[in-house]
């Protein structure tokens, strides 16, 4: 049975720092873009989002008449810990080796009190696998975050973390992946309707 995932990145926050688990609101003032996005997605799909307001509010804006599932904290962005809401420059001045290792060689390196890339992948993979199992054969619109979307592209494309970080994922974009008995396959990535 095939399940299609439509991974939607939330509306912009306009923050110029690392935003992970902080609950910053999305700018949803571009109603034309939201309308195009809502119309481009399958009408019979189920909608789920991260529990952070920027994702949940974006999901509300594009839900239309679709059935909405409860928000999930497991679909949150990367937990940046002590780096949260700080700029790269500020962190680099304080801990240059760790921040470079975190982004240039993602894996087990963690921000202080945060989570590693491998931990993000394990968390999101488990949540997506549960959604696919519970709603087998249904199209799912998953409204979330840059890192959360990359975890699924990495898994579907069988990329290294370094390779997947080369993907651009714009706000209000859609990336499509499929899961069937043969495994994962990729549709369009980072499409702006």
Instruction: Tell me the per-residue pLDDT of 128-160, one tens digit each, with 9 for 90 and over.
Output: 999 999 999 999 999 999 999 999 999 999 999
- Average pLDDT (83-96) is 95
Average pLDDT, the chain: 96
How does residue 99 score in pLDDT terms, banded at 50, 70 and 90? very high
Tell me the β-bridge partners of 175.
7
DSSP per-residue letters across 67-96:
EEPPPBGGG-----GGGTT--HHHHHHH-H
Closest CA to 81 of 123, 19, 148, 125: 19
CATH topology of domain 3-186: Rossmann fold (3.40.50)
The pair phi, psi for residue 183, each rounded to 5°, is: 115, -150
List all residues 6 or more positions away from 29 whose beta carbon is below 8 Å from its beta carbon.
none
The pTM (predicted TM-score) of the whole model is 0.95
How does residue 1 score in pLDDT terms, banded at 50, 70 and 90? confident
Mutual angle of helices 31-40 and 53-62, in 10-degree steps: 70
- Average pLDDT (162-191) is 94
How does residue 37 score in pLDDT terms, banded at 50, 70 and 90? very high
Residue 105 above 90 pLDDT?
no
Q: Which two tokens stand for residue 90?
A: 């500020």
Alpha-carbon 125 to chain mean position: 11
**For position 106, what pLDDT does the model report?**
87
Query: Is the distance from CB of 187 to CB of 7 less than 8 angstroms?
Result: no
Residue 18 above 80 pLDDT?
yes
> Which of the 8 DSSP states describes residue 50?
B
Q: Which two tokens stand for residue 110?
A: 């963690």
How does residue 104 score in pLDDT terms, banded at 50, 70 and 90? confident
Mutual angle of helices 146-157 and 117-134, in 10-degree steps: 80
Handedness of CA 33, 35, 39, 41 (dihedral sign): positive
pLDDT digits (tens, 9 = 90+) for 51-78: 999 999 999 999 999 999 999 999 999 9
């Amino acid at each position: 049975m095939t399940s299609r995932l439509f991974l939607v990145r939330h509306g912009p926050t306009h923050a110029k720092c690392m935003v992970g688990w902080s609950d910053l609101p999305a700018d949803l003032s571009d109603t034309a873009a939201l309308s195009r996005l809502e119309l481009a997605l399958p009408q019979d799909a189920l909608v789920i989002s991260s529990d952070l307001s920027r994702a949940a509010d974006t999901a509300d804006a594009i839900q239309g008449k679709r059935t909405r599932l409860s928000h999930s904290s497991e679909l949150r962005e990367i937990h940046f810990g002590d780096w949260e809401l700080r700029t790269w420059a500020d962190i680099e001045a304080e801990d240059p080796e760790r921040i470079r290792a975190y982004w240039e060689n993602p894996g087990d390196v963690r921000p202080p009190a945060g989570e590693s890339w491998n931990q993000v992948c394990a968390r999101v993979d488990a949540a997506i696998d549960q959604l696919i199992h519970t709603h087998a054969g249904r199209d799912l619109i998953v409204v979330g975050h840059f890192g959360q979307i990359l975890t699924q592209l990495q898994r579907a494309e069988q990329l290294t973390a370094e390779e997947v970080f080369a993907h651009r994922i714009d706000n209000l974009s859609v990336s499509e992946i499929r899961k069937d008995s043969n495994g994962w396959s990729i549709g369009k990535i980072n499409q702006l309707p």
